[in-house]
């Protein structure tokens, strides 16, 4: 079986590894200069930056995926559990000192008790439900190809849904367990990982709290790009051909069947199956040229809810930033107002909630001696103006905020390397629809059977993998999406993860 995969994001690499290991002939065509898509990297002036993801979460999913490929996670990645997991600074008018989270309940529960006396049993009950949701999602939902709503809702899931409050609002769900605004924010911030707001996300996503507090936050040596390199290596070991700097211009379709791709340089490549890991909306609106071959119309994509974009800074800083740990967050005072600026009334944040990763705290090799490597991410609406003057103004505001808040003394004078990445770069580098950093937000109406499927409804032998399809956003989750495409190929309708592969030679 001959397959072409468009894009080497984690979903494309997962598909390449699964198919090559099954004996299929695999060619991956990637427009950029390195594998990994949003998980790419670059080096400059002695610093090595991960371009996007930095949190290695859901270690169990990675371990299971490696096992499916006949590999051991400990032979592929050098993992360290971060201790502490992360540190949170509170808003401008909040005198509460920074809060450190360990992903270890023995240490974290006393922190929560200090915020709200007597909250421990309620939090334990919340986490117990979160654990159940995670386990049910893993066994029944994450790896399911939905053909209709009945694949989601049957007697068992309807009953479970009611019991677990799966479909109610996530924000309201959290409020039932704690009235304390600090704890609420700690439990809710992870919704940004899913490209949505706690007010719009369904309560099923409290499973993120199980991941956060019970499974730990990990770091692979070499950063998240090491994960991308590892899956590319496995695919190549089984014969996959990965071609970089090779951009697809069109998916070739004959008699309603995908038969290959045409590259930007005009070369045609033929295959039995085409899998697109490029942005789903981009594939549908740009790589499929005839309207009748598209599963969705252009207005469909316009009406979707899109995850935020980001204002990202890659900074090389002279000297150390003493107050920072590996993962650092600032949560603004006006929590709801911040989400409104992201999703409802687009505006550069009045008081930014932001994230700073300092990988040089764990892996000093990411920066020259005596320097710090900082990745700064401010979630912003993709609908904002991103011209040079606006970007420069916003960058200065962010740096000033970091100087004052953490504090990092004289940060602006100590910067020896600086690069930024924002809305227009997401469009140019990844062909990201509308410049969203993460793609389709995880609202209830864009989850499971309501999310675009891993198979075209109009064109045979055309499959999709990556964050735009199920199960959705995030490195481990997008990796899993490759199993959905694979399941269509082997005609497997189950909801559980694959435990063995099929011969496709
Ligand atoms: C700033 C940022 C931080 C994040 N942080 C985290 C985190 O800490 N932890 C986590 O788990 N997740 C995180 N995520 C989310 C995670 O990175 C993504 O959900 C996931 O990597 C998406 O993978 P994907 O398979 O959809 O492919 P993508 O990474 O989107 O890759 C798609 C690939 O297709 C290629 N392509 C597009 N068009 C063409 C074409 N015409 N021809 C050839 N190739 C093409 C692109 O160049 C790209 O390489 C983060 C994302 C971002 C942007």
What ranges do the domains of the chain cover? 2-40+60-67+222-304+442-490
Task: Identify the bridge partners of residue 227 per DSSP, sorted by sequence position.
Answer: none
CA 90 – CA 70 distance, rounded (Å): 45
Is the pTM above the cut of 0.85? yes
Residue range 3-25: average pLDDT? 98
Of the chain, the end-to-end C-alpha distance in Å amounts to 6
Q: Answer whether 454 contacts ligand 1 (Cβ < 6 A).
A: no
pLDDT of 448-497, one tens digit each? Answer: 889 999 999 999 999 999 999 999 999 999 999 999 999 999 999 888 89
The pLDDT confidence band at residue 155, using thresholds 50, 70 and 90, is low
**In sequence order, what are the residues at sequence separation of 6 or more whose Cβ sits closer than 8 angstroms to the Cβ of residue 162?**
none
In this prediction, residue 48 carries a pLDDT of 98
How many Å lie between the centroid of ligand 1 and the Cα of residue 278? 9
Q: Is 377 in the pocket of ligand 1 (CB under 6 A)?
A: yes
Q: Identify the three-state secondary structure at position 175.
A: helix
CA of 111 to the centre of ligand 1 (A): 35
Pick from 13, 128, 99: nearest CA to 62: 13
Q: Output the pLDDT for position 166.
A: 72
What is the model's pLDDT at position 441?
A: 94
User: 40 alpha carbon to ligand 1 midpoint, in Å?
Assistant: 8
Segment 202-230, tens digit of pLDDT: 898 999 999 999 999 999 999 999 999 99
Please say whether the beta carbons of 468 and 482 come within 8 A: no
Superfamily of domain 2-40+60-67+222-304+442-490 in the CATH hierarchy: FAD/NAD(P)-binding domain (3.50.50.60)
Which tokens in the block code for residue 66? 């490696």
119 Cα: distance to centroid of ligand 1 (angstroms): 38
- Mean pLDDT of the region 153-158: 69
User: Residues 297, 303: contact at Cβ < 8 Å?
Assistant: no
Whether residue 430 has its Cβ less than 6 Å from ligand 1:
yes
Residues with Cβ within 8 Å of residue 25, at least 6 apart in sequence: 1, 2, 3, 239
Is the model's pLDDT at 349 over the cut of 90? yes
The answer to whether 313 touches 384, Cβ cutoff 8 Å, is no
Burial (CB count <10 Å: 0-12, 13-18, 19+), residue 326: buried
Q: Is the pLDDT of residue 97 over 80?
A: yes
Q: How far is the CA of 321 from the centre of ligand 1 (A)?
A: 29
Q: Secondary structure of 217-235 in the HEC alphabet?
A: CEEECCCCHHHHHHHHHHH
Ligand 1 atom having least distance to the Cα of 473 = 19
Ligand 1 atom closest to 476 (CA): 11
Q: Is 273 in the pocket of ligand 1 (CB under 6 A)?
A: no
Find the 439 Cα to ligand 1 centroid distance in Å: 9
Tell me whether strands 327-331 and 257-263 are parallel, antiparallel or unpaired. Answer: unpaired
Q: pLDDT tens-digit profile of 371-424? A: 999 999 999 999 999 999 999 999 999 999 999 999 999 999 999 999 999 999
The answer to whether the CB of 199 falls within 8 A of the CB of 342 is no
Q: What distances in angstroms separate CA 88 from CA 107, 218, 223, 242, 412, one per listed residue?
A: 15, 17, 22, 40, 22
Cα distances (Å, whole numbers) of residue 453 to 107, 188, 283, 285: 41, 28, 13, 16
Ligand 1 within 6 A of 168 CB?
no
d(CA 166, CA 191): 15
Residue 216 near ligand 1, beta carbon < 6 Å = no
Q: How far is the CA of 437 from the centre of ligand 1 (A)?
A: 8
Distance 467 CA to ligand 1 centre (A): 7
Residue nearest atom 37 in ligand 1 by C-alpha distance: 278
Percent of the chain with pLDDT over 70: 98
- Interval 99-104 mean pLDDT: 96
């Amino acid at each position: 079986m001959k397959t072409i995969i468009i894009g080497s994001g984690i979903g494309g690499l997962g598909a390449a590894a699964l198919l090559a290991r099954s004996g299929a002939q695999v060619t991956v065509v990637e427009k950029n200069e390195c594998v990994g898509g949003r998980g790419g990297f670059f080096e400059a002036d002695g610093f090595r930056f991960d371009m996007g993801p930095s949190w290695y979460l859901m270690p169990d999913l990675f371990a299971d995926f490696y096992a499916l490929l006949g590999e051991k996670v400990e032979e592929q990645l050098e993992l360290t559990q971060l201790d502490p997991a992360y540190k949170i600074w509170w808003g401008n008018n909040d005198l509460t000192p920074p809060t450190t989270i360990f992903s270890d309940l023995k240490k974290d529960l006393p922190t929560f008790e200090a915020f709200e006396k007597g909250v421990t049993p309620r939090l334990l009950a919340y986490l117990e439900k979160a654990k159940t949701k995670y386990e049910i999602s893993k066994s029944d939902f994450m790896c399911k190809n939905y053909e209709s709503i009945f694949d989601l809702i049957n007697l068992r899931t309807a009953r479970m849904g009611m019991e677990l409050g799966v479909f109610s609002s996530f924000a309201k769900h959290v409020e039932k367990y704690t009235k304390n605004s600090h704890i609420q924010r700690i439990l809710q911030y992870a919704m940004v990982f899913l490209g949505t707001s706690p007010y719009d996300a369904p309560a099923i996503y409290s499973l993120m709290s199980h991941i956060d507090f019970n499974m730990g936050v990990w770091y692979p040596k070499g950063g998240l790009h090491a994960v991308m390199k590892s899956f590319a290596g496995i695919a190549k070991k089984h014969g996959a051909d990965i071609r970089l700097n090779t951009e697809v211009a069109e998916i070739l379709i004959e008699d309603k069947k995908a038969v290959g791709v045409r590259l930007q340089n005009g070369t045609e490549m033929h295959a039995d199956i085409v899998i697109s890991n490029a942005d789903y909306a981009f594939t549908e609106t740009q790589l499929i040229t005839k309207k009748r071959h598209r599963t969705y119309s252009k207005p469909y994509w316009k009406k979707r809810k899109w995850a935020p974009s980001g204002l990202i800074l890659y900074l090389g800083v002279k000297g150390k930033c003493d107050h920072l740990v590996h993962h650092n967050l600032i949560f603004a005072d006006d929590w709801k107002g911040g989400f409104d600026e992201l999703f409802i009334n687009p505006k550069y944040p009045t008081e930014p909630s932001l994230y700073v990763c300092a990988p040089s705290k764990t892996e000093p090799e990411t920066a020259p001696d005596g320097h710090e490597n900082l990745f700064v991410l401010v979630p912003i609406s993709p609908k904002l103006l991103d011209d040079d003057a606006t970007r420069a103004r916003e960058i200065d505001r962010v740096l000033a905020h970091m100087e004052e808040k953490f504090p990092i003394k004289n940060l602006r004078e100590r910067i020896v390397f600086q690069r930024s990445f924002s809305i227009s770069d997401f469009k140019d580098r990844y062909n990201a629809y509308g410049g969203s950093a993460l793609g389709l937000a995880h609202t209830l109406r864009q989850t499971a059977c309501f999310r675009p499927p891993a198979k075209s409804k109009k064109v045979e032998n055309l499959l999709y993998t990556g964050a735009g399809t199920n199960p959705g956003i995030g490195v481990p989750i997008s990796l899993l999406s490759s199993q959905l495409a694979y399941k269509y190929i082997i005609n497997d309708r189950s909801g559980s993860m694959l435990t063995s592969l099929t011969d496709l030679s």
